[in-house]
A and B are shown apart, each in its own frame.
Chain A
């Protein structure tokens, strides 16, 4: 086997040729790099857009959606979501004289009870049958002393199935009835039964009447929909329906977002700030100062939040059922800063011993310079993640407290109190609970996913240091 003897010329150094191969890419700062990572995380990015949309909705909502969240419209109580509904403009109901028969033509009741009461020949509507009022009149029945009026939402199958007893006439001559009881736009079956002093007729007449959506002329004027009587006007859409007082749920959700997001964003900012200052002092000075300050935070964890919330309410003289945003904010800030304080303290303790801080010390850096130039910039990532996770916690706390009646009080809406209102009619009109609950869930989920994404985006730099 030949041994290889390297010659001197094979190891001649190669002169550096300027510009021969320079691979460069633009330098990325910490935040640029984190943003790139966050952009790759689709869930976090979608959450970010959702949060921006929510904030825009809160800020611009009242300009874009003109409905008054406190306006009560008893015509549209607990209405499911509706779009582009129209209504007939009808005259104000006023006092209706009704239809009266000529007493002379009436056949009086038979005292012997021999005369068998029959069904009325026909039932007819007087004027248009609308959701404002339905006026029905009928032909007289010989021997009737008064009439009973029933309304049903389906065709009666038997005499037992006539539906809602609307009322009875007071005299035999009274041959009409005005129905103004929670009318909806649908078909109704009206039944009129004649009755004498002793018994009701065994046969009856049922008439199907279609009820049209209508508003009165006065209502039209109030809603700035000037139209002549008999015209058709477009009604307000209620994309999320209305609540039990006929208030637009969408407008209330926008309004409620202000309370929920205000508490959800302001409280975490305040307690993270407080925690940062406290933890920063504790970590920077270390030793006995640190030990004492950390025992105080240990003590703080033991304090029950709900009890303090109630104590603050009492302390501020806020009774049950009154709005208490400030005590809620105070309780959140005073009892929740311990988590960011621990985080910052740990970070500062760690960074204080890092070589780059020692190097800066040797270069003559003052304590404030060390804190602001070296410690805070290296703490801000985890702190931001903590803040993002604190926001859904605070939103949820607000919703929970409002739900149990410890937060905002009517008429101020908040998602929590709206859920509570909706709960009462959950079975008959589920949308009243569903929409606020969806908004709470979506917001909390979006902030949590964003926090997850931020943590990954900011932490990965820490990992790539190795």
Chain B
């Protein structure tokens, strides 16, 4: 495993003894050159997991091991600097992820300048190379972020992250703020870069078919905990956990014939509040197959097929 989270936990304090269980005992690893898709509803803790994994949030509990070395519990500036050439991230919102006061050249060169020193002139060639590699023009160098569209900004974000040649890239919903035609371009670009650079990626998204398309493995989160993980096609085509079934059935199928034949899993209700959770299966309140002991005992992940795990008492 390149990076592995072991019982990673992140709670946010709301004061008055209340805590949001954003990520609760999640154990998940990413192998070298592997793309792991992480899906779940809004508020399921996908992004928090990604950010806690690489130290943008302090861990409440558990550990993260990167290449057999345990990463710090609480990051200082030097810790980020040490891992800068290993782990990078691209962000969900292409509008807030670029400093509006900096030119594209300054934004992309930032990582190199922080790591190696030097000035803009000395890294110019490399910046131009990456700018063209992500599909922008060399003459965009001195422009400002507001002159670009969302897709172009996302490309700038990708160039900024990859110029330091990391081994692991966290993609936090990189396409959810883009329109559909641009989504395909960005996903294609990420796929190409992954192939040529040998990147490992954590691809966080809620578009299931897109995640299936880009990922080797797929993990499903619900209310801060992992409910199912396995090979992308296995999870997509034979989901085991009732929540995964619901997610996949809610995902529209492009083929109308296939769409009509699909069985609908109707699940009512919304994701409950993750404040001060009680023991028991977190999905119990919405699960159509719920049994009394689901509400008492927290289910553990268990193997249901080769490399395919799910956390449900009924399996």
Contact = CB atoms under 8 A, between A and B. Distances in A.
Interface of A: 24, 27-30, 354-356, 358-367, 369, 373-374, 377-378, 461, 464-466
Given A362-B54, A367-B77, 5 more contacts: A30-B100, A356-B99, A359-B89, A359-B161, A466-B95
B238 interface: no
Contact of A355 (B92, B101, B111): B92
Contact of B56 (A30, A362, A363, A374): A362
B91 interface: yes
B101 A364 contact: no
Contacts of B157: 359
Given A27-B143, A27-B147, A363 B164 contact: yes
B146 interface: yes
A143 to B, nearest CB: 99
Given A29-B144, A364-B81, A461-B146, A356 B87 contact: no
B90 to A, nearest CB: 8
B160 interface: yes
A464 B77 contact: no
B110 interface: yes
Interface string B80-102: 11101001110111011111111
Contacts of B87: 362
Contacts of B56: 358, 361-362
Contact of A27 (B77, B102, B142): B142
Contacts of B97: 354-356, 359
B292 to A, nearest CB: 42
B211 to A, nearest CB: 21
A25 to B, nearest CB: 9
23 contacts: A24-B139, A27-B103, A27-B147, A29-B144, A355-B91, A355-B92, A355-B97, A356-B98, A358-B51, A358-B89, A360-B99, A361-B77, A361-B80, A363-B88, A363-B111, A364-B81, A364-B115, A365-B110, A365-B114, A366-B77, A366-B81, A373-B99, A465-B146
Contact of B96 (A355, A365, A367): A355
Nearest to B54: A362
Contacts of A365: 77, 80, 110, 114
A446 B176 CA distance: 46
Contacts of A366: 77, 81
A313 B103 CA distance: 51
A358 B91 contact: yes
Nearest to A366: B77
B241 to A, nearest CB: 31
Contacts, number: 86
Interface string B196-226: 0000000000000000000000000000000
Nearest to B139: A24
Contacts of A464: 146
Interface residues of B, number: 38
Contacts of A374: 99
A43 B99 CA distance: 31
A400 B111 CA distance: 53
B176 to A, nearest CB: 13
B101 A465 contact: no
Interface of B: 51, 54, 56, 77, 80-82, 84, 87-89, 91-93, 95-103, 107, 110-111, 114-115, 139, 142-144, 146-147, 157, 160-161, 164
Contact of A362 (B89, B92, B98): B89
Contacts of A358: 51, 56, 89, 91
Nearest to A353: B96
Contacts of B89: 358-359, 362
Contacts of A354: 96-97
B268 to A, nearest CB: 34
A359 B94 CA distance: 12
A326 B260 CA distance: 82
Nearest to A358: B56
Contacts of B100: 30, 378, 461, 465
B39 to A, nearest CB: 21
Contacts of A355: 91-93, 96-97
Nearest to B84: A364
Contacts of A373: 99, 102
Contact of B80 (A30, A364, A378, A466): A364
Q: Which 4 A-B pairs give the minimum distances between C-beta atoms?
A: A364-B81, A355-B97, A355-B91, A364-B84
A373 B107 CA distance: 11
Contact of A359 (B81, B82, B160): B160
A201 B142 CA distance: 99
A373 B146 CA distance: 18
A363 B84 contact: yes
Contacts of A356: 96-99, 107
B114 A369 contact: yes
A24 B137 CA distance: 12
Nearest to A368: B77
A364 B96 CA distance: 19
A361 B96 CA distance: 15
A17 to B, nearest CB: 15
Given A30-B100, A355-B97, A356-B99, A362 B144 contact: no
Contacts of B139: 24
B144 A364 contact: no
Contacts of B115: 363-364
A377 B80 contact: no
Given A362-B87, A363-B164, A465 B95 contact: yes
A361 B54 CA distance: 11
A364 B114 contact: yes
B243 to A, nearest CB: 29
Contacts of A361: 56, 77, 80
Interface centre among B89, B96, B101, B157 (most CB of A within 10 A): B101
B54 A30 contact: no
A393 to B, nearest CB: 28
Contacts of B96: 354-356
A367 B76 CA distance: 10
